[in-house]
A and B are shown apart, each in its own frame.
Chain A
Amino acid sequence: MSLKSKSISSKSSLNEDERLKKISPLRVLLNRPELGALGGSILVFIFFGIVAGDTGMFSAYGMLNFLDVSANLGIIAIAAAMLMIGGEFDLSIGSMIGFAGICIAIPAIYWGWPLWMSIVFAFAMAVLVGYFNGIMVVKTGLPSFIVTLAMLFILRGLTLAITRLITGRTQVPGLRVLIEDDPLAWLFATDTFKWLFAWLGSLKLIELRTDGTPLATGIPPSVIWFIALTLFATWILMKTRYGNWIFASGGDKIGATNVGVPVGRVKISLFIGTAVASTIFACIQVLDAGSADTMRGTLKELEAIAAAVVGGCLLTGGYGSAIGAAFGAIIFGTVSMGIFYTDVDTDWFKVFLGAMMLIAVVFNNYIRKKVTESK
């Protein structure tokens, strides 16, 4: 009976596709990896809008505050997401942040290098570290979890040992005075759209200090980097040949190799990507604080991976999105800052982070089954 009705209906609509099941727009949305993180972000904003709407969290200053935190995390989360789509992990992100910090600070303060040269040096070291991670994983076939866990310890240890050897302490201050007139440092240390904030301030639309200048002076560099990297990574993933290779390398290494995808090169470049993103993170933070700290970036690798997972990346690789990771970072950044505006003890943030990640993984798993569901 059911067979009969099927064949009749298929004949009646020859022009359309008789086997085209009506797919609801919701289903199409569900198939996008970033849906969970987008929904999560909206929920988080609604929640804080209700709980902390009148506390100043959503004033210009408050918003820039949590956007800054989100953006910093987002910079490394996007790189971590791309690497995860490529089928690997990088646990050395946090240590690389600390390492890059002293690669900038020690040459600039102790060796008298111009700041721009130290920054270039830090990026060069990042490329080396990323290349080493990549080549180790590709050549030995060891899980990247192990290789980069080793690198986590090595880099953190190196950072501590070298800093104490050269400076006798674990912090290197005194960078702030070097930022002015440096041809490169402004990239990581300049607030933008100051005119806009000044103008808004003059109209008394945003909060002012007692001296009449606006409390929020401009968009912090982290936010600009964050937006630029999200767009760049999305363009790569969706619109370039290299992006397709990333999905292929993570989805099925052997299959991709068999059809001519240079899997090794793709993975190595992605490891370089996470190390470079860590260095961007380090540049922004070190130049903002004016000092490098050997412990900077501790545990950031796990937050980055958590944001990527909440953003829809599968732990097995081959699936995910940069936009998702960006929203994952926004969720974490917003909650970590927003919690100060509520009566909730900030200790609860980590509970939230863990629970969020667990929910995300269960959700992603379900989505993957849906996506690959056989007819």
Chain B
Amino acid sequence: MSDYLVQFNNISKFFGKVIALKDVTMRLKKGEIMCLLGDNGAGKSTLIKTLAGVHKPDEGEIIFEDNKIVFDSPKDALDIGIGTVYQDLALVPLMSVTRNFFMGREPQKGIPFLKTFDVEKANKIAADRMGQIGIDVRDPSQAVGTMSGGERQCLAISRAIYFGAKVLVLDEPTSALGVHQASMVLKYIVKAASEGLAVILITHNVHHAYPVGNSFTVLNRGKSMGTFQKKDISREKLLSMMAGGEELDKLEVELQEMDRIHNKN
């Protein structure tokens, strides 16, 4: 039995001639938050979809609790406990909190062929679950459209956990959020990890990733630039490793140059 809950070893994915991912390796222990960092086009989306079972990797293997796994569909990934929360969250704004929480997996009661959606039970669970993360759902039958962005994100994560996720894959959970909302989501992610989940946090925002991550994998143009433990790397180093880093340095130099010329005149 290895230490790792889940291992993605040397994953590669090609689309025709395009190499979307090449030899990406990620290994996670229980309770670990690994941040996957990369600029736009680095291959983050492809990697997420491979983790979620949407794409089959062309090379490499996925090992979950010491068993080699092949996903034929997103459902397979869900069934073994890899819960993916996509950027669009899969929430319907016009539907109630409860109806969203149980969308596709509604609890039922009653006799066969006349089974009904157990709304009371669902309401109770949804309100409880949201209460645990400190989101006070005043009325679980209120529309999700009335919730803030951070609350919606937490609802989607909470739903994934409730339905048995052991590995959480979060796609840019904080990208559309303000500082306050983002910190609410990050706090929840840390709490989930402390309860034994492994979390893969995909983001291009180092400032959100660095405080919560235990390890960092940097993706650049489809390749992993390595996985680093937090103690081994600084925030600035991470930032410069992402494709934007050097360019930002260059930009800074250019700006200083412009400033200098401007002042001269």
Give me the interface of A with B, judged by CB distance under 8 Å: 17, 19-21, 31, 239-241, 243-245, 247-248, 251-252, 254-256, 258-261, 314, 318-319, 368, 371-375
Min CB–CB distance B18 → chain A (angstroms)? 24
Number of B residues, CB within 8 Å of A: 31
Complex contact B116–A240 (CB within 8 A): yes
Q: Flag if B92 contacts A374 (CB, 8 Å).
A: no
**B-side contacts of A259, CB under 8 Å:** 90, 103-105, 159
Q: Which residue of A lies closest to B141 (CB)?
A: A31
Nearest Cβ on chain A to B130's Cβ, whole angstroms: 13
User: Which residues from chain A contact B92 at a C-beta distance below 8 Å?
Assistant: 247-248, 251-252, 255-256, 318
Say whether B103 contacts A261, CB under 8 Å. Answer: yes
Q: Which residues of A contact B91 (CB under 8 A)?
A: 252, 255
By Cβ-Cβ distance, the 6 closest A-B pairs, closest first, are A372-B145, A251-B92, A255-B90, A260-B104, A241-B106, A259-B104
Q: Is the interface of B mostly helix, strand, loop or mixed?
A: loop
- With known contacts A260-B78, A372-B143, A252–B138 Cβ distance under 8 A: no
Contact of B146 among A240, A256, A373 (CB under 8 A): A373
Q: Is B115 part of the binding interface, using a Cβ–Cβ cutoff of 8 Å?
A: yes
Given A251-B93, A372-B93, A372-B94, A240 and B115 touching (CB < 8 A)?
A: yes
Within B62-98, which residues are at the interface with A (CB < 8 Å)?
74-75, 78, 86, 88-95
List residues of chain B with CB within 8 A of the CB of A244: 95, 99, 102-103, 106, 117
On whether the beta carbons of B104 and A261 are closer than 8 Å, the reply is yes
Q: With the chains together, A245 CA to B146 CA distance in Å?
A: 21
Question: Is B108 among interface residues, defined by CB-CB distance under 8 A?
Answer: yes
> How far apart are the CA atoms of A21 and B88 in the complex, in Å?
28
CB contacts (< 8 Å) of B90 on chain A: these are 252, 254-256, 258-259
When chains A and B are docked, how far (Å) is the Cα of A368 from the Cα of B75? 33
Contact B103 A256 (CB under 8 A): yes
Q: How many angstroms between the C-alpha atoms of A59 and B151 in the bound complex?
A: 56
Q: Per a CB cutoff under 8 Å, which of A17, A241, A314, A371 touches B143?
A: A371
Minimal Cβ-Cβ distance residue in A for B86:
A258
**Chain B minimum-CB-distance residue to A31:** B143
8 contacts between A and B (CB under 8 A): A239-B117, A243-B117, A244-B117, A248-B104, A256-B92, A318-B95, A371-B145, A372-B146
Please give the distance in Å from B165's CB to the nearest CB on chain A: 12
A52-B27 Cα distance, complex, nearest whole Å: 78
Cα distance A247–B103 when bound, in Å? 9
Q: Within 8 Å CB of B108, what residues of A?
A: 241
User: How far is it, in angstroms, between the C-alpha of A278 and the C-alpha of B95 when the chains are bound?
Assistant: 29
Q: Tell me which of A20, A243, A251, A314 has the highest count of chain B C-beta atoms within 10 A of its own C-beta.
A: A251
Q: Tell me the minimal C-beta distance from B84 to chain A in angstroms.
A: 8
Q: Answer yes or no: B119 CB below 8 A from chain A CBs.
A: yes
* Interfacial chain B residues near A21, Cβ < 8 Å: 138
> Is B136 in the interface zone, CB < 8 Å from A?
yes
- Whether A374 lies near B146 (C-beta < 8 A) is yes
In the assembly, what is the distance between CA of A292 and CA of B93, in Å?
45
Docked pose: A375 CA to B106 CA in angstroms: 27
**B101 smallest CB distance to A (angstroms):** 10
With A240-B115, A240-B116, A244-B106 known to touch, is A374 a contact of B74 (CB < 8 Å)?
no
Asked if residues B78 and A319 are in contact (CB atoms below 8 Å), the reply is: no
Contacts of B104 in A (CB 8 A): 245, 248, 256, 259-261
| Distance A17 CA – B117 CA, assembled complex (angstroms) | 27
Bound-complex Cα distance A319 to B117 (A): 18
Given the known inter-chain contacts A241-B108, A254-B88, please indicate yes or no for A373 contacting B103, CB distance below 8 A.
Answer: no
Partner of A239, one of B74, B75, B119, B136: B119
Q: How far is the CA of A270 from the CA of B103 in the complex (A)?
A: 18
Q: B residues within 8 A CB of A240? A: 115-117
Near A by CB (< 8 A), chain B positions 146-174 give: 146-148, 159
Which A residues lie within 8 Å of B145 (CB)?
Answer: 371-374
The residue among A252, A254, A319 with the most chain B CB atoms within 10 A of its own CB is A252
Q: Are A371 and B95 in contact (CB under 8 A)?
A: no
Known contacts A244-B102, A259-B103, A261-B103; decide if A251 and B117 are in contact (CB<8 Å): no
Which residue of chain A has its CB nearest to the CB of B102?
A244
A18 to chain B, nearest CB (A): 8
Tell me if B95 and A17 are in contact (CB < 8 A). no
Q: How far is the CA of A251 from the CA of B92 in the complex (A)?
A: 6
Q: For B146, list chain A residues within 8 Å (CB).
A: 371-375
Q: Which residues of B contact A19 (CB under 8 A)?
A: 136, 138
Asked whether A247 lies within 8 Å of B95 as measured between CB atoms, the reply is: yes
Residues in A neighbouring B106, C-beta threshold 8 A = 241, 244
